[in-house]
Amino acid sequence: MRSALLSGLIGGFMGFLMSFLINYFFIPLPETVAINSLNNGISGLISGFMGGFIGILVHIRQANKR
């Protein structure tokens, strides 16, 4: 249980970081609501993928230690 929470926190932080970096550097200040929604969707897709991917990598690494 503890390792699952730790993996989730690491994955969540990586997702937050990726979403922040994408919104700040690559998709700055949208002009319309539709573009803002699209940017948030793209950012969420990328950050969700990165969070899940990092979570899986941490899980595999911890499983191999046992």
How does residue 27 score in pLDDT terms, banded at 50, 70 and 90? low
Assess contact for 49 and 19: CB atoms under 8 A.
Answer: no
Assess contact for 55 and 7: CB atoms under 8 A.
Answer: yes
Quote the pLDDT of residue 25. 78
Token couple for 53 = 């991917």
- Using one digit for the tens of pLDDT, what is the confidence trace for 31-44? 777 877 777 777 77
How many Å apart are CA 24 and CA 8, to the nearest integer?
24
pTM of the model: 0.54
Domain ranges of the chain: 2-65
Distances (CA, A) of 7 to 10, 31, 36, 40, 48: 5, 37, 30, 24, 14
How many other C-beta atoms are found inside a 10 Å radius of the C-beta of residue 13? 12
pLDDT exceeding 90 applies to what percent of the chain? 0
